[in-house]
Amino acid sequence: MGPLGVKFTSFCVFCLAVFVVLRLLARKVPIIARLSLGLHLLATVMGILVFLPPALDLLHPDAVNWARIALLFLSLYAGLRLLDFWLFEIVVPRQHNVPVPLVLRDIVRWIIMLAVLLLTVRTVFPQVNLNVIAVSSIVVGYILGNASQDTLGNLISGLAMNTERPFAIGDWVEVGGHTGRVEDMSWRATTLRTKMEDYVIIPNAVISRDAIVNYSRPTGVHCCVLEVGVNYGVPPNTVKRVLLEVLGSVPEVLAAPAPDVRLTAYGDFSINYRMCFFIADFARINQIQSAVMFQVWYHFKRAGIAIPFPIRDVNLRAVTPEIEAEQQRRCEEARLALLSRVELFSPLSESEKASLAGSMTERIFAAGERLVRQGEEGDTFYIVMSGRVAVTVEQEGQTTTLAKLGPGDFFGEMSILTGERRSATVTAENDTTVLILSHTAVGAVIAAHEKLAGDLAAILARRRHEQAEAAKHLGDRTRPDAGAEGMLLARIRRFFRLG
C-alpha cells in the first residue's frame, strides 16, 4: 500500500471514529442531535484537509482553498447554531420568558453566514467576478420564484407577522377556525397546540389572509359569557342575586372587573339570563365555565329555582295524593329521627321535636363548597343527612382540621342559641345534603317554655367544656371557653329577647 493509500485509510478510520462519537453524544446532548449532519460534514472536510491534501492538488489547483472555505463555513455554521441554542433556548427564556420566533433566528444566522462567505470568496479568490454571480442568482431566483409561489408567499407572510407581531409564542389565538397556544413560528407555517393536545400547522399565507383573535393581548384577562334559563315564577332580582353568588363562589372568577348578570330574553319556556365574568387564565376556560355551571345547579337547588324544559300538559297523574302523602310522612319521620338523636333538643317533647322537624329545610352542597365560614355571623343549625364535611379552624395563618362529620352529626348549636359568630369553617368533602334549622323556629318553642332556656344552657355548657378538652390534643390550639352555664343562659335569653 502506497503513501496515498495509507492516508486514505487513516482518513476513513478518522471519519468512522467521529461518526461513532457523535452518535453516542447525540443520545445525551440535544444540540448534538440537531447538528448531527453539519458536524459530520465538518469532520469530513477536516479529515480531507489533514489526510488528503495531495489528492486535492491532483484534482484541481484551487481544491485545497475551496476545502478551507468549506471548513470555515461549516465551522461558522456550527458555532452560530451553538450560540443560537445557548442564547435563545437557555439564557433568554430564563431571564425574560419570551421565546424568539425561529424564523427570525434563521434569518439572522443565514445573513451572517452569507456575508462571511462572500467576504471569504473575495479574499481567497480575487479573480472571481461577484457581479456575474449576482446576476446569475437573480435569474435563478426568478425561475425558482415562479416555481414556488406558495412557499415564497408563506415566507413573506411569516416575515410580515414577525414584523407586525399580531401574536407571540405562548399566546392563545384563534385563527383559521382553530384555537390553540402558539408553539412555533417557522418560515413556512405557524404551529398551534390545541386544548385537545393536538398540533395544528397553519401556513403563514393562510394566517395573513384570515382574521386573528388573540386571547392573550393586550392582557390575559378574558371575558366569558354563559346563559341559563329560569322558570317564569322566580323574580328576576332573586335570580340575579343567586347567580352573582354563584360567580363569587368560584375562586378563578375575577372580582375585578366585576361579574354581571343580565336578563336577555323572555323565551317560550323560560326567562333567559346571561352571566358575564372575567378570568385570568384562558387555558382553563373550559374548566372554569364547567365549575360555574356546576355551582348554578347546586345554588338553584338550594334556592328552590327550577331550570325549565319544554313540557306538554297531558293531565296524566302517575302519583296519587295518597302516595304523595305517604312519601311526605316518611320524609318527616326521617327528619324527626335525625333531630331526636341530637342531645341539644333532648329536653323537648315529641310534639315540639316534630314541630321543629317540620320547619327544617333541606339543602344540598357540592364537594368543596363551604357551608359556613369562620368569623361570619350565623343563626342556623345544621344536621348532616348524607355526605361528609370537614370542620377546620384557622389560627395564626395555619389551618387545622378539628373533625369530620358524617350522617347524623350536627354543628352550629352556639350560633342558633346565642347568635355567636361561627367559630370554624365547615366544608363539604363530597356532595352533602343537610337539614337547616333557623333560630326563629327554636325561638317559638323556647318562648312557650321558659324553663327550656335553662336546660339548653346546661347542655350547651357541657358540650363546650367537652369540646375545649378535646381541642387540647390539637397542638394546644384550644378555643376559649364560652363561660359558665349562667352566662350562656343570659346570652340565650338576650338573643331570643326573653323577659
The 10s digit of each residue's pLDDT in 49-66 is 777 777 766 666 777 777
Average confidence score pLDDT of the chain: 80
User: Does residue 284 sit in the same domain as residue 422?
Assistant: no
Tell me the pLDDT tens digit for each residue of 120-145: 767 766 666 655 555 555 555 555 45
The answer to whether residues 481 and 409 touch, using CB atoms and an 8 Å cutoff, is no
Of 132-141, 154-163, 347-356, give the lowest mean pLDDT range.
Answer: 132-141
Does residue 314 sit within a domain?
no
Distance CA 299, CA 370 (A): 12
> Residues 298-344: pLDDT tens digits?
999 999 898 887 655 555 556 677 887 888 888 888 888 888 888 88
Q: Which residue has the higher pLDDT, 102 or 271?
A: 271
Q: How confident is the model at residue 257 (pLDDT cuts 50, 70, 90)?
A: very high
**What CATH number is associated with residue 394?**
2.60.120.10
Sign (positive/negative) of CA torsion 338, 342, 347, 348? negative
Between residues 33 and 246, the one the model is more confident about: 246
Cell triple for 184: 412555533
Which of 214, 244, 279 finishes a domain? 214
Sheet containing 410-411, strands listed edge to edge, beginning at the edge strand earlier in sequence: 361-365, 432-438, 380-386, 410-411
Residues 338, 413 within the same domain: yes
Instruction: Judge if 227 and 207 occupy the same domain.
Output: no
| Residues 119, 170 share a domain | no
pLDDT of residue 340: 87
pLDDT in the model for residue 138 = 58
The pLDDT, as a whole number, for residue 470 is: 61
Q: What is the CATH number of the domain that holds 175?
A: 2.30.30.60
Please give the order of strands across the beta sheet that includes 260-266: 222-230, 271-279, 260-266
**pLDDT at residue number 241:** 94
Question: The domain containing residue 243 runs over which residues?
Answer: 223-303
Please report how the helices 36-51 and 3-26 are oriented relative to each other, as an axis angle in degrees rounded to 10.
160
Per-residue pLDDT, 157: 64
Domain for residue 151, yes or no? no
User: Which residue, chain included where needed, has cell 350536627?
Assistant: 410
In a domain, 135, yes or no: no
Q: What is the pTM of this model?
A: 0.60
Nearest-angstrom CA–CA distance, 468 and 54: 98
CA dihedral 64, 66, 71, 77 (to 10 degrees): 180
- Residue 26's φ and ψ, nearest 5 degrees, are -65, -25
Q: Half-sphere exposure (CA, 13 Å, Cβ side) for 58?
A: 5
Residue 391: band (very low, low, confident or very high) from pLDDT cuts 50, 70, 90: very high
For residue 313, is it within any domain? no
Q: Are residues 343 and 484 in the same domain?
A: yes
Is residue 181 included in any domain, yes or no?
A: yes
Is 53 a domain residue? yes
Question: Rounded distance, CA 140 to CA 134, Å?
Answer: 10
DSSP secondary structure of 72-89: HHHHHHHHHHHHHHHIII
Do 353 and 490 sit in the same domain of this protein? yes
pLDDT for residue 140? 52
Looking at the structure, tell me whether residues 276 and 388 fall in a common domain: no
C-alpha cell at 276: 358575564
- Comparing 207 with 37, which gets the higher pLDDT? 207
d(CA 298, CA 301): 5
Asked whether the predicted pLDDT for residue 147 surpasses 50, the reply is no
For residue 315, what are the CA distances in angstroms to 112, 309, 463? 85, 17, 54
Instruction: Pull the grid cell for residue 413.
Output: 348549636
Task: Judge if 401 and 477 occupy the same domain.
Answer: yes
Per-residue pLDDT at 90 exceeds 60: yes
* 450 and 326 in a common domain: yes
Q: How far is residue 187 CA from its own chain's centroid?
A: 32
Question: If you average pLDDT over residues 69-83, what whole number do you get?
Answer: 79
Amino acid identity for residue 274 in this structure: R
**Structure confidence at residue 94 (pLDDT):** 62
pLDDT at 396 exceeding the cut of 90? no
Instruction: Indicate whether 268 belongs to any domain.
Output: yes
Phi-psi region of 398 (alpha: psi -120 to 50; beta: other; left: phi over 0): beta
Determine, yes or no, domain membership for 36: yes
CA nearest neighbour of 273 among 299, 249, 250, 296: 296
Chain position carrying cell 336577555: 264
Q: How far is CA 2 from CA 8, 49, 52, in A?
A: 10, 19, 13
Confidence of residue 482 (pLDDT cuts 50, 70, 90): very low
pLDDT (tens digit per residue) in 192-233: 999 888 999 888 888 878 888 999 888 889 999 999 999 888
Tally of domains in the chain: 4
Q: How far separated are the first and last CA of the chain, in Å rounded?
A: 125
pLDDT of res. 480: 47
Q: What is the pLDDT of residue 476?
A: 47
Please check whether residues 66 and 181 belong to one and the same domain: no
CATH number at residue 260: 3.30.70.100
Same domain? For 238 and 370 the reply is no
Residues 97 and 30 in one domain: yes
Could you read off the pLDDT of 356-379 as tens digits, one per residue? 888 899 999 988 899 999 999 888
The mean per-residue pLDDT over the stretch 267-283 comes to 93
